[in-house]
Amino acid sequence: MTAGIIDGTAVSKQLLAETAARAAAFTEKAGRAPCLATVLVGHDPASETYVKMKRNRSRKNGITSKAVELPDTTTTEELVKVITDLSEDPEVDGILLQHPVPSQIDERAAFEAIAPGKDVDGVTMYSFSAMAFDLPGFHSCTPAGIMRLLKAYDVELSGKHAVVVGRSPILGKPVGMLLLNENATVTYCHSRTTDLADQVAQADVIVAAVGRPELIKGEWIKPGAVVIDAGYNPGNVGDVERQAAAEKASLITPVPGGVGPMTIAMLLEQTVRAAEASLA
């Protein structure tokens, strides 16, 4: 068996085209484009690159980007004030706080300053609760992208055993909640899991999200399983031993070109959705 490729690049292009059309319709109706505010604290090169990419992608899809750049000496109180002001600005539809932030800042406090209706990155406790309870709200972007990919490839989740390797608050935990909402039986694995290989071997769907290169070995994969590799490590290496896993899986995401393109596509789609809600 050779696994089919889950092409995140192709799925994200389709989603972005739909999002751009919705942004244009909103602009015509509202007299302004949807607006995503990006908040960058400090001068971390990787974060600067990510934010620049998000701003460029926003512009290409009819979304205005409001850039807020703060020094690395910014305090929690100062950052919360900036985010609160953006939350109260009627011209801003979505807020993205690029993380990580400098160590002196209480990141959770900063996230919680984002109004739920503008949390288009799905980072607040409100958004997590909405995901867990299957209520309307914004989803964490990478988990939301993963669910879109599974849907695009007609992966049946009801009654299936999904194993999530990783428990971060913006990836592992929420994707497990979203899988549970689709009636999958979900197992979380993490750094204290003592039988990782045995757990993975039982999975119909595997989501690897730990940031450790090739942690998930191909020999662990159940024949016919669907493998979602949400990890990205130096050298374009994912969290799954891809070549060996592809020999046993039915579907697998590449790294890069799998989950990654979906994250920013979901960010922009949710920004437009937030803008549309402002007219309701």
The per-residue pLDDT for range 4-39, each reduced to its tens digit, is 999 999 999 999 999 999 999 999 999 999 999 999
Give the CATH number for residue 47.
3.40.50.10860
Q: What's the chain's average pLDDT?
A: 97
Q: Is 81 a catalytic residue?
A: no
Residue from 66, 93, 119, 121 carrying the catalytic annotation: 121
pTM: 0.96
- What is the reported pLDDT for 280? 81
Could you identify the residue written with the tokens 């309870």? 133
Could you identify the residue written with the tokens 């490590």? 233
Asked whether residue 21 is assigned to any structural domain, the reply reads no
- What is the reported pLDDT for 176? 98
- What is the reported pLDDT for 1? 66
Q: Which domain holds residue 91?
A: 30-115
Asked whether residue 206 is assigned to any structural domain, the reply reads yes
Query: b/e per residue, 235-259, with b = 16+ CB within 10 A?
Result: eebbbbbbebbbebbbbbbbbebbb
Q: Are 166 and 99 found together in one domain?
A: no
Within 10 angstroms of residue 43's Cβ, the number of other Cβ atoms is 11
Calpha distance 270→152 (Å, rounded): 18
Q: Is 121 a catalytic residue?
A: yes
Q: Are 263 and 57 in contact (CB under 8 A)?
A: no
Number of domains in the chain: 2
Q: What is the chain's alpha carbon radius of gyration, rounded to the nearest angstrom?
A: 19
Give pLDDT < 70 ranges for the chain.
Answer: 1
Q: Are 231 and 209 in contact (CB under 8 A)?
A: yes
What residues contact 243, with CB distance under 8 A and at least 6 apart?
218
Residue from 54, 66, 118, 248 carrying the catalytic annotation: 54
Q: Are 145 and 253 found together in one domain?
A: yes
Calpha distance 153→150 (Å, rounded): 5
**Measuring CA to CA, how many Å separate 211 from each of 135, 154, 184, 191?**
29, 27, 24, 12
Residue from 66, 93, 98, 199 carrying the catalytic annotation: 98
Q: Is 98 a catalytic residue?
A: yes
- Estimate to the nearest angstrom the gap between the alpha carbon of 240 and the chain centroid: 18
